Amino acid sequence: MKNRKLYRRNRIKLRIRKTIIGSQERPRMTVYRSNKQIYVQLVNDDAGNTIVSTSSALEEIASKKVTKIEKAQLVGSKIAEIAKAAGIESVVFDRSGYLYHGRVKALAESARKGGLKF
């Protein structure tokens, strides 16, 4: 990735993080997107810890021969399922400076469809 694109994403990420704060009742759902995988975690910013996390690198998702957008949808439904089991129904979505498009959008809509509110 070119430096100017990385700097731009980091500027946007910091601007977003100034306004978005997660708590135990309503954690921050943060997304990291690499070229091959997509990772998502629910973070409690009050305590500074990760509550639950999942990614497309998990064996049950990685073993399927699907596109990256379909993997993002699987990760979104998986995080909704794990969050429900942990007693979390509502989150704050942190797109980490990525555009709300493609894999990030697919993950978010799949998590909404799975029952998470944001």
Domain 3-113 has CATH 3.90.1150.10: no
Return the pLDDT at 1: 60
- Would you say 96 and 16 are in contact if contact means Cβ atoms under 8 Å apart? yes
Confidence of residue 2 (pLDDT cuts 50, 70, 90): confident
Burial (0-12, 13-18, 19+ Cβ within 10 Å), 70:
middle
The DSSP element (H or E) to which 83 belongs, if any, is: helix 68-85
Neighbours of 90 (CB within 10 A): 11
Q: For the chain, what are the domain ranges? A: 3-113
Token pair for residue 30? 């943060």
Per residue in 20-75, pLDDT (tens digit) is: 899 899 999 999 999 999 999 999 999 999 999 999 999 999 999 999 999 999 99
CA distance 27 to 49: 10
* pTM for the whole structure: 0.90
